[in-house]
Amino acid sequence: MINKKQRFMVLFAVMPLLLSSCAELGAMSEPSNNSNAVPVLNSLPALTMEKGECITFLWAEQTNRPLIYTQNMNGDEATLLIDNKPVSATRTSADENVIAGFYRKQMYVVDGKTIEVRINPDPVRNIYEGIKIPNGVITIESTDGGRSIIPVSGMLGCNLEN
């Protein structure tokens, strides 16, 4: 029999397949004026949710659908990987509150990069079944002018099991 934690791990393992769209888009980048590389997002490891936690998960809209962004609703920290390094970024601004701690637009600044996360959550909002995020964009700008624009989709998932 599968316990509750295993059920959530299975859910998050198959979620990219459930949320995938017909289009397979890669990250689009605008060239920089100098030779520095444009930031690249890689995949985050699997995440275990504790009871009562609600986390936003965003996957890149590309062939392998890497998990590239997580953010716990109870805090201002987001986690993502940039240039193969885990980055924990503190939110500097948030606009268009959907529900407490869950926003359509968020900004972060870390390691000389500005990260903007824009999402369009599904209008049907059921916190018990999760809130689908059919589309969104993560934009990463470096101080040298390099910019990565990554189409994403995902969900806000909560572990509300007893």
Residues 6+ apart with CB under 8 A from 57: 12, 15, 47, 67, 69, 70, 154, 155, 156, 157
Burial class of 156 by CB neighbour count within 10 A (0 to 12, 13 to 18, 19+): buried
Average pLDDT along the chain, 162 residues, taken 10 residues at a time: 46 43 37 49 81 93 88 92 81 92 94 94 87 96 92 94 68
- Predicted confidence at residue 48, as pLDDT, reads 86
Burial class of 47 by CB neighbour count within 10 A (0 to 12, 13 to 18, 19+): middle
Delimit the domains of the chain by residue range: 52-162
d(CA 19, CA 114): 27
d(CA 30, CA 27): 10
- Predicted confidence at residue 23, as pLDDT, reads 33
- Predicted confidence at residue 71, as pLDDT, reads 95
DSSP 91-134: EEEEEEEEETTEEEEEEEEETTEEEEEEEE--S--BTTTBEEEE
Q: Residues 82, 41: contact at Cβ < 8 Å? A: yes
- Predicted confidence at residue 41, as pLDDT, reads 57
User: Token pair 């600044």 is at which residue?
Assistant: 109
DSSP 7-23: HHHHHHHHHHHHH--S-
Residues 6+ apart with CB under 8 A from 85: none
- Predicted confidence at residue 8, as pLDDT, reads 46
